[in-house]
A and B are shown apart, each in its own frame.
Chain A
Amino acid sequence: MGMTDKDLNGTALDDFFAAARADMPDPSGAFLARVLAEAEATQAGFARRRGAAPRVSAKGGFLSGLSGVFGGWAGLGGMATATLAGLWIGFAGADQLSSVAAGYMGTTEVLGTVNLLPDGDFFALATE
């Protein structure tokens, strides 16, 4: 087999690349869960090294701004829980969502409820 560019030219090869790009493999949910578990375990080590509990943000900025919007650290805790729930839903599939809804809502209640809509606005939305 020699030089075959003129037979299977660049355009044809590009079609193979395009097919491969369109067929990008997704990692399993179990893999992402393992990676996240290692991330959190490693992060816990940082906190121990500093001799302090993990902080949500050391430098303020992005997250401290969010903190103000969402009602302090309890609100951010709820947000983190919501992100984790989203991650889990992504892993497990939406069909299993109902089975965890009760537990998830219970957790949110413990961490504090974030009311994004004043009652009047909610009523307006509900009656539309």
Chain B
Amino acid sequence: MAFDAHTEVSDETLLVLYGNGDRVAARSLTLRLGPLAYRVALRMLGDRAEAEDLAQEALLRLWKIAPDWRTGEAKVSTWMYRVVTNLATDRLRRRRGVGLDEAPEVADGAASALEQMIDADRAQALQMALEQLPARQRQAVILRHLEGLSNPEIAEAMEIGVEAVESLTARGKRALAALLEGKREELGYGHD
């Protein structure tokens, strides 16, 4: 039997079943949304233990609201993206004492951080660069380019307009390019 016994059932239907006491739905939702929440949390925070802690907190919020979930208003996955990225943003603010969007596009110390990853692969390089971005830019870039959400979906998850999403994504990508540019030769992007 597949681990997710409800492959053809929507997240929303599963959540209603869960709220009604369906134990199989609890397992299916755990297997669908647990990895999603953890993945995004890890991209945002860069620390496995902290990402698990945050993802568990986000999922607990989902379990608690399940009986009161209003069908047809938002996708469960969009709700999860919103909660995880908001919780992560709060932690980043507490951790670093920076605002949501006021940090410089290329943070101080980025060059030294990049120095430590000469042997890292591109995925690791990107993760390190992501962690240099201001929280909101990081959030938008992760949802757009790593999770594959559309701009309207990101706008809903971040509770901002589509134009603001486009702006955050563009600024985030410029900053990433700037961060990665310094090491492109080591990472296989030298000039021809």
B34 to A35, Cβ gap below 8 A?
A: yes
Say yes or no for A125: interface residue by CB 8 A criterion: no
C-alpha spacing A53/B20, complex, angstroms = 10
Best-buried of B124, B177, B189 by chain A (most CB within 10 Å)? B177
B123 to A27, Cβ gap below 8 A?
A: no
Taking a contact as CB atoms closer than 8 A, the residue among A21, A27, A34 that contacts B146 in the complex is A21
Say yes or no for B81: interface residue by CB 8 A criterion: no
C-alpha spacing A59/B14, complex, angstroms = 12
A31: chain B residues at CB < 8 Å are 34, 38, 52, 55-56
Which residues of B (1-43) have their CB < 8 Å from a CB of A? 1-3, 5-6, 9, 13, 16-24, 26-31, 34-35, 38-39, 42
C-alpha spacing A9/B177, complex, angstroms = 8
Q: Which residue of B lies closest to A54 (CB)?
A: B21
Say yes or no for A79: interface residue by CB 8 A criterion: yes
Q: How large is the interface on B (under 10, 10 to 19, 20 to 34, 35 or more residues)?
A: 35 or more
B182 to A1, Cβ gap below 8 A?
A: yes
Say yes or no for B60: interface residue by CB 8 A criterion: yes
Binding site secondary structure of chain A:
helix
A24 to B39, Cβ gap below 8 A?
A: yes
Say yes or no for A119: interface residue by CB 8 A criterion: no
Given known A-B contacts A31-B52, A39-B29, A20 and B63 have beta carbons under 8 A apart: no
**A residues near B, CB below 8 A?**
1-5, 7-10, 12-13, 15-17, 19-28, 31-32, 34-36, 38-40, 42-43, 46-47, 53-59, 62-63, 76, 79-80, 82-84, 86-87, 90
4 closest Cβ pairs, A-B complex: A54-B21, A58-B20, A23-B123, A19-B122
